[in-house]
């Protein structure tokens, strides 16, 4: 089976100073690894409070827009965020990696091809600032709703990626929808529309070369007719169900790779967005504090001032003095205390 999109999202540990918070910077020589249902960094549990920023590669291509990345990462550091999840692909359009099938933009693609950081001279496979790779962002196969085709693809691609890079963790990038291997979960947790997407949370992750489980959470988009209380209840149930299965069946850590609250939701208020973040963070923290499989959550998505063209109804600007941003910073501090005590801004997940 051919690999058409081998690397979709990259999990990169941000190696910046925590000077604003008055804590130490992350060690640059340690890779995040897995021990049972936990991530480990330098011998201690590692927890991720982070964000998505799919636009990093896009803005980095033009020297005139690179300052936006600096501002965004500075704001992330100030709020104690440890993970940036970004695209390692871009097909078609402006500043694309692959302009058309088989045709590549060398200016945009060169660092991916050479696999050596221009400034540090370190190959990506040896770069400790990278936490993990994901095979694809939200992989689906509607042609085979059973999930078997996608499982076969992951079973082939995951060992292949590991053969190229044995230093880094590897994930799937899945949204977390259940399949035929978990009929009860499929009935109780899946949105009806997800049953034809060809994914299977258990089977797709129950592969030796896959190091951690991935889910996303968008109850507003999946259940537009539910009221706000119903969506929050579902959000908690969705995360908790996957935590149970990650621990008891997969025996792997779980990352909530995307979540957020669309401002376009009818009747939207700031308090509603805060509630989504509180439910998400509390559920993650309760598991982490007990040594459970929940390793962290990454909101969708971070932008900085002046990036209005990237506003999609879910964007977070950390330089704003909002109640949501305070909740984000508080979660960072709580996870830091149970993950070694001296919080370290660390890494990236890429797909």
- On the question of pLDDT at 82 being above 50, the answer is yes
Query: Which one of the listed residues 134, 138, 175, 247 is annotated catalytic?
Result: 138
Is residue 91 very low, low, confident or very high in pLDDT (cuts 50, 70, 90)? low
Query: Which one of the listed residues 59, 175, 247, 258 is annotated catalytic?
Result: 258
Residue 109: predicted pLDDT? 42
Tokens describing residue 42? 């330098």
User: Catalytic residue at 24?
Assistant: no
Q: Are 294 and 283 in contact (CB under 8 A)?
A: yes
Class of the CATH-defined domain 9-350: alpha beta
Average pLDDT of the segment spanning 60-77: 86
- On the question of pLDDT at 24 being above 90, the answer is no
Average pLDDT of the segment spanning 86-99: 62
Distances from the Cα of 179 to the Cα of 48, 53, 69, 193, 236, angstroms: 27, 29, 38, 12, 20
- This prediction's pTM: 0.86
User: Angle at which helices 228-245 and 270-289 pack, to 10 degrees?
Assistant: 20
Report which of residues 78 and 9 the model is more confident about.
Answer: 78
| Closest CA relative to residue 34, chosen from 213, 275, 281, 265 | 213
- On the question of pLDDT at 11 being above 80, the answer is no
- On the question of pLDDT at 78 being above 60, the answer is yes
Cis peptide before 301 (omega within 30 of 0): yes
User: Catalytic residue at 258?
Assistant: yes
Residue 114: predicted pLDDT? 43
Tokens describing residue 300? 């969708």
Indicate the pairing of strand 302-303 with strand 316-317: parallel
CA distance linking residue 178 with residue 199, whole number of Å: 7
User: Per mean pLDDT, which of 23-27, 135-139, 166-170, 203-207 is the most reliable?
Assistant: 203-207
């Amino acid at each position: 089976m051919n690999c058409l999109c081998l690397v979709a999202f990259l999990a990169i540990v941000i190696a910046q100073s925590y000077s604003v918070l008055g804590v130490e910077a992350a060690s640059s020589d340690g890779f995040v690894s897995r021990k049972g249902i936990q991530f480990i960094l330098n011998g201690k549990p590692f927890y991720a409070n982070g964000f998505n920023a799919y636009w990093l590669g896009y803005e980095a291509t033009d020297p005139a827009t690179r300052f936006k990345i600096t501002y965004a990462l500075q704001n992330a550091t100030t709020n104690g965020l440890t993970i940036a999840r970004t695209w390692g692909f871009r097909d078609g359009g402006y500043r694309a990696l692959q302009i058309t099938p088989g045709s590549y933009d060398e200016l945009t693609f060169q660092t991916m091809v050479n696999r050596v950081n221009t400034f540090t001279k370190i190959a990506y496979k040896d770069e400790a600032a990278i936490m993990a790779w994901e095979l694809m962002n939200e992989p689906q196969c509607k042609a085979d709703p059973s999930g078997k085709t996608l499982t076969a693809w992951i079973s082939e691609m995951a060992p292949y990626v590991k053969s190229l890079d044995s230093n880094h963790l590897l994930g799937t990038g899945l949204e977390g929808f259940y399949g035929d291997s978990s009929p009860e979960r499929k009935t109780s947790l899946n949105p009806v529309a997800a049953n034809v997407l060809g994914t299977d949370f258990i089977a797709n992750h129950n592969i030796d070369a896959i190091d951690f489980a991935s889910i996303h959470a968008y109850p507003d988009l999946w259940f537009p007719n539910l009221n706000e209380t119903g969506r929050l209840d579902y959000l908690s149930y969705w995360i908790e169900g996957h935590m149970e299965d990650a621990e008891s069946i997969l025996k792997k850590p779980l990352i909530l790779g995307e979540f957020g609250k669309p401002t376009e939701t009818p009747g939207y208020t700031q308090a509603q967005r805060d509630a989504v973040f509180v439910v998400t963070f509390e559920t993650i923290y309760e598991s982490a504090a007990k040594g459970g499989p929940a390793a962290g959550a990454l909101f969708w998505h971070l932008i900085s001032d002046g990036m209005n063209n990237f506003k999609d109804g879910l964007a977070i600007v950390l330089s704003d003095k909002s109640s949501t941003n305070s909740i984000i910073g508080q979660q960072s501090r709580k996870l830091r205390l149970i993950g070694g005590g001296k919080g370290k801004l660390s890494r990236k997940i890429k797909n």
